Structure 1
């Protein structure tokens, strides 16, 4: 695959300075193509979440360059970066980052409306996304009226609404039961199969097995990566065709 959606070139991220500095990422080189599902694994503190926040333009690299669809993130001002995130990048945060004063469909439609999509069209797209994750019946509920697992699915719907080219998911199944988690993994897999680049941070091998490739991080470095032959039947407990 030659259609590169995400590229990292010698990317490092250091927090603090002097003797107290901590190197979260160290010289990362990475290419992820359209239609590719990549899982990132590693011990706590290995740099997994830092990788996602840099790829999503939520933090800046100390050195190196990050490209999303061939655009260097360092070349964008605040407004341009916000526009890129709304239009091209879907992000699933560990803590959801939902707006409590908005109901589920409003949370999902908000980035589309901010990008100038008419309200009725944005709501239709949001309902489609909620339907995809199985909670369209909760569209009018506020965040304090639904469970943590349901909030997580609202956050996933927000990440996939519209025509996102890059989906970044940080432990997106953490608050979900096993069956619902598998359903979310199938949603992400389908997005990759439809042409998105998907990056999943997970500590569960069973979820990483949905990916085409698994990266292993340790101490801020990619220490290994393994390509996989994806077989959805084996993961869904069905006989292979």
Structure 2
């Protein structure tokens, strides 16, 4: 793949202290490169969401290093990490997290505006991102006027607007029907194939089959890191 976007070196996360402490991740090593989608699977409580928040700079690991586009997060200030998140990282959540009082266009352009781009200049790349997910004609609609699948596609547009290089998706299809969920995964796969990198947290082997690699977590440890060949048969011709 080349062009490493993300690296986790020996990352561990522990909550609390002493007898009440809980270990969420232990010695996790992981890389994601451009053009690569990595699926993360595991039972509830295995550390999947913690891994995603650490990778996105939303949580500081207890030990180990997180490197995003060559930047060691441990060497950056909170403000520098926030800037890196806005410019390089896109998050997609199961519950969409769109702002209900903003239109689709305004939701997608918001990260650019927060980064200092005037609204008139933010509109063009936001419209381009909406076009990529097939919703340019819904730019003036509010989230309440859109279906769940459309809202999730807007969330993906927001995650990739401005050429963000790394998309972190936490169960993005969990609230969608199978047909709509497949469309959302196709959008995510298309963005990765265009040069981004991605992490997809999922419980569903059919969804993981869209990835280039599948990482399995158990009790906060990576127990397997493999190509998805054994489960691609589940797609029955659907997907990549």
Q: TM-score, normalised by structure 2?
A: 0.91
Question: Number of residues paired by the alignment?
Answer: 238
1:153 CA drift (Å):
2.3
Q: Using the alignment, how far apart are the partners of 1:93 and 1:177 within structure 2?
A: 16
In the other structure, the counterpart of 1:114 is: 114
Runs of 4+ in 1 over 4 A off after TM superposition: none
Q: Using the alignment, how far apart are the partners of 1:224 and 1:208 within structure 2?
A: 14
In the other structure, the counterpart of 1:145 is: 145
Q: 1:101 to 1:12 in 2, by over 3 A?
A: same
Unaligned stretches of 5+ in structure 2? none
Deviations 1:178-199, CA, capped at 9 Å, x for gaps: 2221122111112221211111
| 3-state DSSP of counterpart to 2:45 | coil
Unaligned stretches of 5+ in structure 1? none
| 3-state DSSP of counterpart to 2:153 | helix
Q: Using the alignment, how far apart are the partners of 1:145 and 1:177 within structure 2?
A: 18
In the other structure, the counterpart of 2:41 is: 41
Deviations 1:104-162, CA, capped at 9 Å, x for gaps: 11011000122233323321222222232233333222233334443322212111111
Is structure 2 residue 23 aligned with structure 1 residue 23?
yes
Q: 1:207 to 1:28 in 2, by over 3 A?
A: same
Q: TM-score, normalised by structure 1?
A: 0.90
Show the 5 A alignment for 1:121-200: 121-200=121-200
Q: Using the alignment, how far apart are the partners of 2:189 and 2:177 within structure 1?
A: 18
In the other structure, the counterpart of 1:216 is: 216
